[in-house]
Amino acid sequence: MYHDLVRNASFWLFLLHVDQDLAESARQQSCPCGGRLHRANYPRKPRGGPGDLPAVYRYRFSFCCQRDGCRKRVTPPSVRFLGRRVYLGAVVILVAAMRQGPSSRRVRELSEIFDADRRTINRWRTFWREHFPLTKFWKVARGRLVPTIEVDVLPRSLLEAFLRNDQDREGWKKLLLFLSPITLTGGLKIEGSE
Ligand SMILES: [Zn+2]
């Protein structure tokens, strides 16, 4: 099952390296004002991952312009964190995808493995089924996906589109990079709202 990989610390190290690359390319570009960017990470208390995540998982990478009077924030996209959610992004996708059907035994298992209560898991389901399909991001991005993704089985249909098997780390990387625009400020705006 997909969740064996996601319980594995090496999977999270792999995603950490992707985030470090994303952060490094953001840092190399200076602020639009010309100022240099300094590291100014956001603290996080990530949940749902294995117990032995490195301490750097307590930070979402971010930068701040060093020029007085500007101090603009630059936060690169992330494959680890889904916006301001506490739970790690892959967990939010995976658990919602595995929560198929009304089996209460299954929900209990998931909630134990990933340290998320039933209400949290239901909130994720609602997010993927009801909020996510309405976002501007999805309305544009879904056109780039082949085959067409079925909205009523989100996010499982995304997992199936990107992962070739249950050990497919590169597939996870592609999926999380595909979704990474929603990890930016305003990335989950609903079409028509400002
Ligand atoms: Zn600046």
What pLDDT, on a 0 to 100 scale, did the predictor assign at position 193?
59
CA distance 18 to 16: 5
Ligand 1 mean position, distance from CA 73 (Å): 8
Do the Cβ atoms of 78 and 85 come closer than 8 Å?
Answer: no
Q: How far is the CA of 65 from the centre of ligand 1 (A)?
A: 5
Q: Tell me which residue has tokens 């249909």.
A: 157
| 63 CA distance to ligand 1 middle (Å) | 11
The Å distance, Cα 185 to ligand 1 centre, comes to: 18
Residues in Cβ contact with 189 at an 8 Å cutoff, skipping those fewer than 6 apart: 135, 136, 137
DSSP letter, residue 130: I
Cα dihedral 180, 186, 188, 190, rounded to 10, equals -150
Measured in angstroms, how far is the CA atom of residue 167 from the centroid of ligand 1? 42
Q: pTM of the prediction?
A: 0.91
Residue 101's pLDDT is 61
Which residues of the chain fall short of a pLDDT of 50?
none
Q: What pLDDT does residue 20 have? A: 97
Cα–ligand 1 centroid distance for 91 (angstroms): 35
Q: How remote is the CA of residue 69 from the centroid of ligand 1, in Å?
A: 8
Give the pLDDT score at 149. 83
Cα 194 to ligand 1 centroid, rounded to whole Å: 25
- CA 40 – ligand 1 centroid, Å: 14
Ligand 1 mean position, distance from CA 186 (Å): 20
Distance from residue 25's CA to the centre of ligand 1 (Å): 17
What is the predicted pLDDT for the residue at 11?
95
Q: How far is the CA of 56 from the centre of ligand 1 (A)?
A: 26
Could you tell me if 25 and 35 are in contact, meaning their C-beta atoms sit under 8 angstroms apart? no
